[in-house]
């Protein structure tokens, strides 16, 4: 990442963290963006005398700046992201095989000299035997041969023009939600992918990722405020836990109570949950609670922001249609209807794409139909 503030190159961990937070829902795990960020600010709000080499700065309105950076990047990504388009590989021959003919005279006269005489010819005879007339092939021109590199092949002007036009058209169609209104469901692949068609060609939807995105956004508003609507359980949920988790129970409850979850010690190595929040729907409660406690097992000092994201993503995952599940035509249509309601429908909460497309033009090209 390269960050400049009033044309000065700086290092700022808070700004870098804000950038990563903005990208968190648009990139798969363990992927990082390449960012060049230019910030212009009132010089009176910046203290450049924090670091001897002026690398670090102190901002009087840092929190406002961090929110601005996150919101600006998120808005930009949401407005420019498109469905992933499958394109056939461009097969451009780098070298063309060409036969070169070099004509020379061939003497067919039979020689009567003995073998010894052939081996001891005079110098003049040797020079004369190689005195063939040189002929030139007019089809071969003398020129400097430059072999195109892979970069040169991929960046030919005619290819750039064609692909850039397709990208612009794809962005305009994908960003507008009319993209979903023209989809026609045609079937399911491997009980995992919904196959659709539109005027442009083939559309493939990851049924689990699409449902994750929908449930994630629906739960966001619910989990923005403390949960007070709880449902008592007839039989408490019992959880076997490690001594590390048992020692953290009070700290864990301080954070999970915001979501309506409280763990109660039961013996030396068990916790019980007597009531659950109403937003617990279509989810395996015990599996979710173990997953939540596992997060505290790995990170004793997890902050609320990370915890909230984890709860959202885990709930969205657990309550979504799974892979390898056969869907009826109505169920597939409902997945698309739900995805259509999302603010950011093209990626799941983990950053993976929900939709990929292949144009009719590219399909025809693959089948060599011109």
Q: CA–CA separation, 34 vs 103, rounded Å?
A: 58
pLDDT the model gives residue 100: 54
Q: What is the CATH number of domain 2-80?
A: 3.30.230.10
Domain spans in the chain, listed from the N-terminal domain onward: 2-80, 157-215+322-366, 224-278+283-318
Give the CA-trace dihedral at 103, 109, 113, 116, to 10 degrees.
Answer: 30
Q: Is 5 helix (H, G, I), strand (E, B) or coil?
A: strand
pLDDT the model gives residue 263: 95
pLDDT the model gives residue 93: 55
Pair of tokens at residue 158: 């005619």
Please name the helix (run of DSSP H) or strand (run of DSSP E) that holds residue 185, with its range, or none.
strand 184-189
pLDDT the model gives residue 177: 64
pLDDT in tens, the chain (370 residues): 888 888 888 888 888 888 888 887 777 667 788 899 988 888 888 887 777 777 788 888 888 888 888 888 877 877 665 556 666 655 555 555 555 555 555 455 455 455 545 554 555 554 555 455 545 555 545 444 444 443 333 333 443 444 443 443 443 344 456 788 889 999 999 999 999 999 989 999 999 999 999 999 988 878 888 888 899 999 999 999 999 999 999 999 999 999 999 999 998 899 999 999 888 877 788 988 998 999 898 887 788 888 888 888 888 888 889 889 999 999 999 999 999 999 889 888 888 899 999 999 998 888 888 6
In the CATH hierarchy, which fold is given to the domain comprising 157-215+322-366? formyl-coa transferase, domain 3 (3.30.1540)
Q: CA–CA separation, 31 vs 44, rounded Å?
A: 36
Following DSSP, what letter does each residue of 25-47 receive, concatenated? TTS-TT-----EEEE---GGGEE
- Closest C-alpha to 167, from 253, 81, 268: 81
**Residue 271, CA distances (Å) to 5, 237, 246, 277 in order:** 50, 8, 8, 17
Residue ranges in the chain assigned as alpha helix (H): 13-23, 62-80, 115-119, 123-129, 150-154, 157-175, 178-181, 207-222, 243-247, 249-256, 285-298, 304-318, 329-340, 360-366
Torsional class of 43: left (φ above 0), alpha (ψ -120 to 50), beta (otherwise): alpha
Q: CA–CA separation, 206 vs 190, rounded Å?
A: 11
Pair of tokens at residue 356: 């990929």
- What phi, psi does 340 have (nearest 5°)? -65, -25
Pair of tokens at residue 85: 């388009």
- Chain centre to alpha carbon of residue 316: 19
Give the CA-trace dihedral at 228, 234, 235, 237, to 10 degrees.
Answer: -10
Q: Which residues pair with 140 in a beta bridge?
A: none
Neighbour count for residue 118 (Cβ, 10 Å) = 10
User: What's the chain's Rg over C-alpha atoms?
Assistant: 34
pLDDT the model gives residue 102: 52
Residue where the block lists tokens 């015990």: 286
- Closest C-alpha to 351, from 30, 18, 19: 30
Pair of tokens at residue 233: 């359980």
Q: Which residues pair with 205 in a beta bridge?
A: 194, 355
Q: CA–CA separation, 13 vs 1, rounded Å?
A: 11
In the CATH hierarchy, which fold is given to the domain comprising 224-278+283-318? Ribosomal Protein S8; Chain: A, domain 1 (3.30.1370)
Residue where the block lists tokens 């203290």: 47
> Tens of pLDDT along 225-271?
888 889 999 999 999 999 999 999 999 999 999 999 999 999 889 99
Cβ atoms 292, 284 nearer than 8 A: no
Residues in the chain: 370
């Amino acid at each position: 990442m390269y960050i400049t503030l009033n044309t000065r190159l700086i290092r700022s961990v808070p700004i870098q963290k804000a950038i990563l937070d903005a990208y968190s829902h648009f990139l798969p795990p363990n992927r990082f963006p390449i960012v060049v960020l230019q910030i212009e600010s009132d010089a009176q709000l910046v203290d450049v005398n924090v670091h001897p080499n002026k690398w670090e700065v102190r901002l009087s309105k840092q929190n406002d700046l961090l929110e601005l950076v996150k919101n600006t990047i998120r808005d930009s990504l949401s407005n420019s992201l498109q469905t992933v388009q499958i394109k056939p590989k461009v097969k451009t021959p780098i070298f063309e095989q060409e036969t070169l003919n070099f004509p020379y005279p061939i003497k067919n006269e039979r020689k009567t000299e003995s073998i010894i005489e052939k081996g001891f010819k005079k110098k003049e005879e040797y020079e004369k035997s190689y005195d063939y007339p040189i002929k030139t092939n007019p089809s071969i021109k003398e020129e400097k041969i430059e072999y195109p590199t892979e970069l040169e092949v991929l960046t030919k002007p005619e290819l750039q023009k064609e692909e850039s036009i397709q990208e612009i058209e794809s962005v305009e169609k994908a960003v507008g939600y009319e993209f979903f209104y023209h989809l026609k469901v045609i079937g399911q692949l491997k009980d995992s992918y919904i196959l659709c068609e539109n005027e442009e060609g083939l559309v493939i939807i990851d049924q689990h990722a699409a449902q994750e995105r929908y449930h994630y956004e629906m739960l966001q508003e619910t989990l923005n405020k403390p949960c007070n609507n709880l449902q008592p359980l007839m039989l408490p949920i019992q959880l076997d836990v490690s001594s590390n988790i048992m020692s953290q129970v009070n700290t864990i409850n301080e954070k999970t109570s915001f979501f309506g979850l409280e763990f109660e010690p039961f013996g030396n190595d068990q916790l019980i949950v007597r009531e659950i929040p109403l937003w617990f729907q279509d989810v395996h409660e015990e599996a979710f609670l173990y997953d939540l406690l596992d997060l505290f097992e790995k990170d004793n000092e997890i902050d609320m922001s990370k915890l909230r994201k984890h709860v959202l993503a885990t709930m969205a995952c657990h309550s979504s249609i799974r892979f390898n599940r056969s869907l009826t035509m109505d169920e597939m249509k409902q997945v698309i209807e739900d995805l259509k309601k999302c603010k950011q429908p093209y990626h799941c909460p983990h950053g993976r794409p929900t939709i990929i497309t292949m144009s009719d033009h590219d399909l025809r090209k693959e089948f060599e139909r011109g």
